[in-house]
Amino acid sequence: MHLFFILFLTRIVWINGQSGNFPDCKSGPLSSFPICNQSLPSRQRALDLISRMTLVEKISHMITTSDAISRLGLPKYEWWSEALHGLAYSPGVFFGGDLPAATSFPMPINLGATFNMRLVHHIASIISTEARAFNNEDQAGLTFFTPNINIFRDPRWGRGQETPGEDPFLTSQYVYAFIQGLQRGDDERYLKIAGNCKHFDAYDLENWNGTSRHYFNAKVTDQDLVETYLPSFKTCIQDAQVASIMCSYNSINGIPACAHQFLLETIARESFHLNGFVVGDCGAIANILYTHHYRLTVEDTVAVALHAGTDLDCGIFYLLHLHDALNSKKIVETDIDQALMRTFDILIRLGWFDPPEQQIYRHLNKNNVNTLEARQLSLISAQESIVLLKNMNNALPLHIDQLMNKKIALIGPTADATVTMQGIYHGRAPFLIDPITGFKNLTTGKLINIEYARGCGISSYDEKDFAAAIELARSSDIVFFFGGIDHTIEDEGVDRKSITLPDIQLTLIQQLEKVTRSPLHIVIMSGSGIDLSYIRDSIQCSSLTWIGYPGQSGGLALATVIFGQYNPAGRLPITFYPASYVNEVSMFDMQMRPSPVNPGRTYKFYTGKAIYEFGYGLSYTTFNYTWNNNTIFSFYSIQSLIKNNSKTNRTLISLIRINVTNTGNMAGDDVVLAYVTPPNIIDGEIVPFKQLFGFERIHLAINETKEVFFPFTIEAALTIARDASKWLHPGLYHITIGQQRMFSIELEGQSTQWA
């Protein structure tokens, strides 16, 4: 959904008012009908309401901006609201009056870096509370097109920042926590709000080498589809029970996603058991005809989308052409009824038709928005997401009590970043603490002089501000450079061509290195990987910190890390590739495994040398791992596993137990990552170098030890074959905790295909 389109529709909604009014089931026209009978199943209630609508009225409810039906007492409703990391500008959300702002949390790429799913759940719960408060004030809908759970396959993708990272297991854990936080609250009778997992599926290209997402045909092998592109959606639909999904703009193996009956009906509904509706990305149904040329007429386009299972059109194609499809007998009215049943069912489950006095969510208001809890959570989540990549000679943290009468220079284009810290799909934050303000807040009254010079822009090559920055650096005791990229380089509709730090920034860094009294500290803001090898290798750069897009309290969170009030523990949720990567593989190549024209993608298959690996991150303290099992080798029979357990993916093979000890001089968090390397398979299949199957974030005081458990299940041991079948193979499965190989499990017997 392109930002310009969002802003245009937002303007319309602002003028006309959001449809936050509710149907009156006490005394309104619907009150005597089954739609208002709470004892009936929700789908039965929905079907009765639909049976009372005229054809024209039905068609008006097949698009995201639905008309009111005054004779039935049915208010208008805007289906399209956004809440990726807080309520966001969209046709269904506006800010003003008693609700001028909403909490702006860090971007999902930051939340992935926390590896803390309890935190993710808490954030989603706060978002849904604020969403309900906005809805009760007619300033938001109840259906939110969030989260984005596509795999961050390629570092050039402009929307990768909207996702929690490159790993299917991490993304699956994230989406479960997020959807549970959005949809489930204190009243199990109702959905708190309705989430939407997008974009189904294999969507991760905006506009590259002249091909946009509206035209792109993603050629995906069955192996990659099952192993990489589907797992997060399976978790979202089957386990988290999301209320809706969004089919994407692109085609998949020649079939547009919103016309893909196998994808939407066979996989999403029949296999994953989707209990909700499918909405097409905004304009995606029209794309079936106009960009993919999958059908030749408007009537056939409506039919193929509707029969594939696309229930709701974010656009106007259905509005314009459903009549044509009916008249030509390409569809029948019951096709429309089925789609409407799925959408109205969700509104019923949200309590839209039920009396407000029996619903706790209907009583949330402005006092439940921008609370102290929400503000603290935004700060904590930003702190937990910060990744320390380099800390030469323990240059950080800085100790405030040793900085009296010192001068600290803050230089660079992101030192004063405010809205930029929010990333994309953001709303109006109640406040924005940029890094300069964060530094000054923590040093107030300490006789520490904080001064700022911009030095350069993000990417435009203009050295006119170099002189002031260099002079400030020359006269300062400590120098920080704040760089990175922003939405002009990575955004919806904007893919990167290069993954290097913009030349102007690198040039300024090199000039600052020549004049500083001590090595530079570098802070990078970005939603994707950058080749930071120069900074990594330079002895004139003492520290390197990645802060993603950290939200409303990002500057303060960073300052607490720099000055040692918070011990960083974030870990990269993506691989930072060398600059040459973009010349080695086309963005059009969806294959994950290496080939003669593909060096492989993500930490699981990349054959090159990463600048920084997935899962990398430093701390101000040190941790030691010890094995807590009786042996470093275990033996199991495949046939015994089958015989003694039901043949499910959750069958436990072994419980991995690790003792983690803080052996350093500062309390802090550790992110414990558990990987498995499967055995090599004789028939030539390429297996992952390793794959994540568990993680846990824990806090440890100095000298404290905690035990961490990781269940190693059949699911973690399965190998996906070329034909997408799942197999349990005999051989050695090596367990690695962090960077340390600690345990091996041998499975004996015959290779067995798993259901």
Q: Is the pLDDT assigned to residue 12 strictly greater than 80?
A: no
Of the CA atoms within 13 Å of residue 474, those in its CB half-sphere come to: 9
Do 632 and 565 sit in the same domain of this protein?
A: no
Under 8 Å between Cβ of 720 and 227: yes
CA distances from 233 to 227, 491, 713 (A): 12, 23, 20
- Residue 581 maps to a domain: yes
As a whole number, mean pLDDT of residues 58-75 equals: 97
pLDDT at 1: 52
Q: Do 635 and 577 share a structural domain?
A: no
Domain count, the chain: 3
Which of 337, 368, 399 terminates a domain? The answer is 368
The residues annotated as belonging to the active site are 281
CA distance 717 to 161: 30
Residues 578 and 452 in one domain: yes
**Same domain for 358 and 404?**
no
Q: Are residues 631 and 482 in the same domain?
A: no
Residues 574 and 636 in one domain: no
pLDDT in tens, 641-698: 877 665 566 788 999 999 999 999 999 999 999 999 999 876 778 999 999 999 999 9
Q: What is the CATH number of the domain that holds 730?
A: 2.60.40.10
Residues 633 and 704 in one domain: yes
637 and 660 share a domain? yes
Inter-CA distances, 274 with 48, 145, 194, 501, Å: 22, 16, 13, 42
DSSP 318-373: HHHHHHHHHHTTSS-HHHHHHHHHHHHHHHHHTTTTS-GGG-GGGG--GGGSS-HH
Query: Does 618 reside within a domain?
Result: no
pLDDT of residue 9: 43
Tens digits of per-residue pLDDT, 346-383? 999 999 999 999 999 999 999 999 999 999 999 999 99
In the prediction, which pLDDT does 15 show? 35
Instruction: Specify the pLDDT at position 681.
Output: 79
Is the preceding peptide bond at 155 cis, omega within 30 degrees of 0? no
- Amino acid identity of residue 36, one-letter, is C
Confidence at residue 632, expressed as pLDDT on a 0 to 100 scale: 67
Using one digit for the tens of pLDDT, what is the confidence trace for 694-736?
A: 999 999 999 999 999 999 999 999 999 999 999 999 999 999 9
Position 192 in a domain: yes
401-418 per-position pLDDT tens digit: 999 999 999 999 999 999
Residue 740: what pLDDT?
86
Q: Which pLDDT value is given to residue 645? A: 61
**Domain contains 306:** yes
68-111: pLDDT as tens digits = 999 999 999 999 999 999 999 999 999 999 999 999 999 999 99
Q: Could you say which of 578, 605, 632 is where a domain stops? A: 605
User: Do 221 and 280 have their domain in common?
Assistant: yes
**Owner of token pair 């962090």:** 738
Whether residues 656 and 679 share a domain: the answer is yes
User: Is 613 within a domain?
Assistant: no
For residue 343, pLDDT beyond 70:
yes
The structure's pTM equals 0.95
Helices 317-327 and 298-308 pack at an angle, to 10 degrees, of: 100
How many CB atoms are located within 10 Å of the residue 460 CB?
10
pLDDT at 3: 38
pLDDT digits (tens, 9 = 90+) for 269-313: 999 999 999 999 999 999 999 999 999 999 999 999 999 999 999
Which is nearest to 415 in space by CA: 442, 448, 452, 378?
452
Asked if the model's pLDDT at residue 4 lies above 50, the reply is no
453 & 582 share domain = yes
| pLDDT given at position 18 | 37
Residues 434-493 have pLDDT tens digits of: 999 999 999 999 999 999 999 999 999 999 999 999 999 999 999 999 999 999 999 999
Of 53-62, 207-216, 657-666, 682-691, where does mean pLDDT reach its minimum? 682-691
Q: What is the mean pLDDT of residues 320-345?
A: 98
Per the DSSP assignment, residues forming a β-bridge with 660 are 625, 706
Report the alpha-carbon distance of residue 174 to residue 110 in Å, rounded.
12
Return the pLDDT at 685: 84
- Percent of the chain exceeding pLDDT 90 equals 91
CATH code of the domain covering residue 592: 3.40.50.1700
Helix (H, G, I), strand (E, B) or coil at 26: coil
Could you tell me which of 324, 345, 427, 321 has the C-alpha nearest to residue 104? 427
The CATH number of residue 18's host domain is 3.20.20.300
Structure tokens at 561: 């890390």
Distance of alpha carbon 452 from alpha carbon 447, whole angstroms: 16
What is the widest separation between alpha-carbon atoms in the chain?
Answer: 82
Q: Render pLDDT for 247-270 as a digit per residue (tens, 0 to 9).
A: 999 999 999 999 999 999 999 999
- Judged against a pLDDT cut of 50, whether residue 600 lies above it is answered with yes
Q: Is 612 among the domain residues? A: no
Can you give the pLDDT at residue 649?
A: 67
Q: What separation, in Å, do the N-terminal and C-terminal C-alpha atoms of the chain show?
A: 37
48 contact partners, CB below 8 Å, separation of at least 6: 33, 34, 35
Angle ∠(45,46,50) on CA atoms, nearest 5: 120
Residue 434, SS3?
coil
Q: Percent helix, strand, coil in the chain (nearest 5)?
A: 35, 20, 45
Residue 524: Cβ within 10 Å count:
23
CA distance 84 to 80: 12
610 part of a folded domain: no
Secondary structure letter of residue 595 according to DSSP: B
What is residue 353's predicted lDDT score, i.e. its pLDDT? 97
Secondary structure (3-state) at 266: helix
Q: Is residue 375 part of a domain?
A: no
Q: Among 605, 632, 654, which residue terminates a domain? A: 605
Q: Are residues 332 and 387 in the same domain?
A: no
Q: What is the pLDDT of residues 116-133, one digit of tens each?
A: 999 999 999 999 999 999
Task: Output the six-digit token pair for 462.
Answer: 């203009």
Q: How confident is the model at residue 517 (pLDDT cuts 50, 70, 90)?
A: very high
Q: Structure tokens of 389?
A: 């990549």
pLDDT digits (tens, 9 = 90+) for 156-195: 999 999 999 999 999 999 999 999 999 999 999 999 999 9
Question: Which domain covers residue 175, as residue numbers?
Answer: 3-368
